[in-house]
């Protein structure tokens, strides 16, 4: 159960970061309204707060989070940008998630 909670928290964190970066992209590259920067800022603040909810060392969280971020970004590419990931995209995403799992769920010495 703890593993599902961690993965869900990572996924929510990644989504908040992607939305926080995608909205300014829409303003800068696609001429969308500047007011999109307001929810973008809120989303990035949410992203930072979500990172603090993990119960392990910050460096470990940041390292493992990167793998989940890559996976969510690839799903964003597919679902939002409507670009089908390639076989190597899927392979890379799987490797990143494997790395995340090793970092987050590998055995630790007892303190």
- The 10s digit of each residue's pLDDT in 7-20 is 889 899 999 999 99
Rg of the chain taking only CA atoms, in angstroms:
16
- CB-CB contact of 9 with 1 (8 Å): no
Helix 2-30 and helix 37-51, axial crossing angle in degrees, nearest 10:
160
From the list 91, 96, 93, 98, the residue with the least C-alpha distance to 74 is 93
Evaluate if residue 56 carries a pLDDT over 70.
yes
What percentage of the chain exceeds 70 in pLDDT? 99
| Domain segments of the chain as ranges | 2-105
Query: What is the pTM (predicted TM-score) of this model?
Result: 0.83
Lowest-confidence pick of 30-34, 53-57, 100-104: 53-57
Identify the pLDDT of residue 51: 87
Burial letters 22-60, b for 16+ CB under 10 A, else e: bbbeebeeeeeeeebeeebeebbebbeebbeebeeeeee
Identify the pLDDT of residue 110: 76
Mean pLDDT of the chain, nearest integer: 91
Lowest-confidence pick of 49-53, 61-65, 69-73: 61-65
Confidence bin at 111 (pLDDT 50/70/90)? low
Better-predicted residue by pLDDT, 19 or 56: 19
């Amino acid at each position: 159960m703890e593993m599902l909670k961690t993965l869900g928290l990572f996924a929510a964190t990644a989504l908040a970061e992607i939305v926080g970066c995608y909205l300014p992209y829409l303003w800068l590259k696609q001429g969308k309204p500047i007011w999109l920067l307001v929810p973008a800022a809120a989303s990035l603040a949410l992203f930072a707060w979500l990172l603090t909810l993990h119960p392990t060392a910050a460096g470990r969280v940041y390292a493992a989070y990167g793998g989940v971020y890559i996976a969510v970004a690839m799903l964003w590419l597919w679902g939002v940008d409507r670009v089908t990931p390639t076989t190597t995209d899927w392979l890379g995403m799987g490797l990143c998630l494997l790395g995340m799992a090793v970092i987050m769920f590998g055995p630790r010495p007892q303190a």
